[in-house]
Amino acid sequence: MKVADLAELAARNLREAVLRNSLTTLGIAVGVASLVALLSLGVGLQQLVDRSVARAGLFDTVSVRPRQSAPLGQGVGLRRTPRDAADLQPPRVLDDAARNEIAALPNVVEVNPEVRFTAEARREPNSQLVTVSGMAQSSQSSGTLDDMTGNFFSGPDAEEAIVQGDLAKRLLANGKAPASLLGQEITLRFAQRQALPPRSEQAQPEAPNQAASPDEDAMGFSIVPSEKKFRVVGVLPASDSVGGQARFNNAGLYLPLAVAEKLQVVQRDDLRDVARSTMSVGTRYAALNVLVNSPAAVAQIESRVSDMGFAAFSLIDVTRNLRTFFAIFDLFLGIFGSLALAVASLGIINTLVMAILERRREIGVLKALGAANRDVRQLFFAEAGVMGLVGGVFGVLLGWAIGRAIQFGTVLYLKRQGLNPPNIWSVPWWLVLGAIGFAVLVSLASGIYPASRAARLDPVEALRYE
Amino acid sequence: MNVPETPASSNGFAVRADHVSRHYKMGDALIRAVDQISLEVRAGEFLALLGASGSGKSTLLNLIAGLDRPSSGAIFAQGRNLAAMSSEELAAHRNQTIGIVFQSFQLLPRMTLEENVELPLRIAETPRSERPGRVREALERVRLGARVKHRPTELSGGEQQRAAIARALVNRPMILLADEPTGNLDSKTGEEIMNLIAEIHRPPSGPGRTIIMVTHEHALAERYADRIVTLSDGAISREENLR
């Protein structure tokens, strides 16, 4: 028989015992709904974490440092590519030449120096020690600041700051919302290095709030306290809200990268460089942040940078483990969700076996008119498949509604707790198609026994049946 | 595997049974429902199988129909050995070569007359565009053209049997098998049905069909059949050539 005829006959047969078949189909729908609701929750949670990690720049950033970061006798804080032979050679300097070489690598979007220091942020009468970090212009479009209140820096040289909600709270009077710091000025006090001219030409230091000229040719530098005012243009969510996740180069206050560089703040490696007798000419970076155009390219860039003789670091391994965790988590959710579908499949078997008993004579007539065993088998399969398809579609709709209800309840609960509610629920198209396909597959598998039993019926016996 | 009949075994016969047996086991007892029957039915012949209840006539009809398989022997229909056919080929034989009419009509009560008559066409995978015309033609032939949308339960016994005949003929088979076609009808309606079967056997125009009818009414068989074969205890006990 043709597929269209099989489907037509199957639909007609299902309509005849409408109550029983509807209940069986409802059983499948409930099974699919539980599967969809649980998996949509798993997928939603995974996407929430993925979004957080992506915003934090963990997926597309490689941190590069010189290999000789630690003197003998001291451990290395960052992961290093184990290259014992290379370690014996003089370590390569992370200078402008190296920066350009890295920037020329395929898939590299930009290479920025890491500027990071500790300063005191002050807004009378409150003050707070804070980690300050330079932020590249590209961060504006990276999604890193999606949940920020206010605006991004008006230009690369603007004397503006973006602060974390925690810092804003501490600088404000009690009870004020962090966003009320927007537009106000805060003062940063930091340790500035000032170049020392050759001993014969000792000069008085300049005013502390003015950036000094580069000191490459100097014999060394002095460290002086310096202050500078910045206007707050953006406030990031406080860490106690759900959206306030940790970021790559996590800091309490961000300045435009170019501004942060010009401050000439003493960096950790400066003291060590002074101690060395082999100071080179030109800019030397403590670390570079390499922005890659796709997370898939991170591992390759990491490897290429290591080959150049630098220590490269990314959190790609951490995210890989995270994905493994969620794969297992989703598997367990899927198994629990499938239990209801397994029970529903017993309902299909029961319904179809009952149908064989009721339609024994009909099967005999079909065979007498020329239906082959295959036709009878396919007819019962089609009936099981139609129940699976209808149950699958209704199940997805039901699961979607349950997921919405869970999301709604979660949002309500978190808002009452004073937290920023995230989206923890997602029904991607592959879940919709997969759930319907799975329902049809389970239904067809349930139909195997009844269909074979119907196909094996002896037509002579079946025609005698009253 | 279908084994074509050799020319010697065909010789213009629509059906030929060669030492056919159908035995059943019931506990330790062996029931010989059909035992070593050899029979030839010419193309276009009207054969009546007569016998008491349990004589084996319906079993023989089921074997010819391909609804059952012989324990031994061979049955040739239109030159093809049914005993050597696969179940798929037997199904095709039931769909294309023969049409069957039952005593209890065996119409599907949930379907209308036209849907019942369309069933063999669905099974044969006849194109949808051809089906309405074929169904109408078959129903008009049995004078039920005005009742196509009715369900079997809305019809009289005679009308139901006429609809069953239309269903048996819709695939234009060359052999019509009828198992006590008047058994559930009163004498007047039974006569109408027999007249219809006689008309199918020898239509006013066009080719006729081979008819094999099982009945226990000798008078009916004598009136309509060309030949009567009487069965007793699974074997042929008597043969009468009437025409």
- pLDDT for A249 equals 56
- CA dist B52 and B180 (Å) reads 12
- pLDDT for B69 equals 92
Residue keyed to tokens 């960052």: A78
State the nearest Cα–Cα gap between B126 and chain A, in angstroms. 9
- H or E element at residue B22: strand B13-26
Q: Do B110 and A16 touch (CB under 8 A)?
A: yes
CB distance from A452 to chain B under 8 Å? no
- CA dist A158 and A163 (Å) reads 15
Show the tokens assigned to A179: 């966003």
- H or E element at residue A384: helix A373-416
- For A379, name the nearest residue in chain B, comparing CA atoms only: B123
Q: Using CB atoms within 10 Å of the CB of residue B142, give its burial: 0 to 12 exposed, 13 to 18 middle, 19+ buried.
A: buried
Domain segments of chain A as ranges:
3-54+322-464, 60-112+284-314, 116-266
Lowest mean pLDDT among A2-16, A412-426, B57-71, B117-131: A412-426
Q: Do B110 and A368 touch (CB under 8 A)?
A: no
- CA dist B86 and A49 (Å) reads 61
Q: Using CB atoms within 10 Å of the CB of residue A412, give its burial: 0 to 12 exposed, 13 to 18 middle, 19+ buried.
A: exposed
Of B67, B92, B108, the CB nearest to A362: B108
The predicted-structure confidence for A80-139, as pLDDT tens digits, reads as follows 444 455 455 567 778 888 888 888 888 888 888 888 888 999 888 888 898 898 888 877
pTM beyond 0.90, yes or no: no
Model confidence at B52: pLDDT above 50:
yes
Rg value, chain B, Cα: 18
CB distance from A3 to chain B under 8 Å? no
Side chain identity at residue A116, one-letter code: R
Length of chain A: 466
- CA dist A104 and A452 (Å) reads 66
The predicted-structure confidence for B73-98, as pLDDT tens digits, reads as follows 999 998 889 988 999 999 999 999 99
**CATH T-level fold of A60-112+284-314:** Alpha-Beta Plaits (3.30.70)
**Residues of B with Cβ-Cβ distance to A9 under 8 angstroms:** 122
The predicted-structure confidence for B154-201, as pLDDT tens digits, reads as follows 999 999 999 999 999 999 999 999 999 998 889 899 999 999 999 999
Q: What is the ipTM of this complex?
A: 0.91
**Residues of A with Cβ-Cβ distance to B128 under 8 angstroms:** 4
CB distance from A369 to chain B under 8 Å? yes
Q: Do A370 and B91 touch (CB under 8 A)?
A: yes
Helix axis angle for A373-416 and B87-96, nearest 10°, is 100
The count of CB pairs under 8 A between chains A and B is 66
- H or E element at residue A162: strand A160-164
User: For residue A125, which phi and psi values (nearest 5 degrees)?
Assistant: -95, 10
